[in-house]
Amino acid sequence: MMTCIIRYEIDPFAKDKFANYARNWGEAIPRCGADLVGCFGPHEGSATTAYGIYHIESLTAYEAYRARLAADPLGRANYEYARREKFIIREDRLFLKCVSQPHAALVKP
């Protein structure tokens, strides 16, 4: 299992457009085969940094997932929405694997 972390630099005056984009991925990404952790937009601090985080089994599974996402009607529409509205300035992908497992149980005070 690996985790893809997408770091977005977004237009600070178009946070609502990014939020709409993120909600669309909330439907399309799981449907196309990745385990979406979530899309995170600016709240406090930077007004230009956002993240998308999901888990996928392997790079081979990632390639198949990307093909399904590109063929998905909502996926295609969302890519076009971002191109047309130009609210994403930069996008970087990073693939990581969790090396801290197994985790202890959460202790609630």
Cis peptide leading into 12, omega within 30 of 0? no
State which H helix or E strand residue 23 sits in.
helix 15-32
Q: Is the pLDDT of residue 64 over 90?
A: yes
The secondary structure element, H or E, covering residue 61 is helix 59-71
How far, in Å, CA of 66 to CA of 50, rounded? 20
Residue-wise pLDDT tens digits, 74-108: 999 999 999 999 999 999 999 999 999 899 999 99
In the block, tokens 């439907």 appear at: 27
- The predicted structure's pLDDT at residue 45: 84
Question: 0.75 exceeded by the pTM?
Answer: yes
46 confidence band (pLDDT: 50, 70, 90): confident
Share of the chain above pLDDT 90, in %: 94
- Dig out the tokens for 14 from the structure: 């178009």
| End-to-end CA, the chain | 31
- pLDDT, mean of residues 41-50: 92
State the CB neighbour count (10 A cutoff) for residue 79.
16
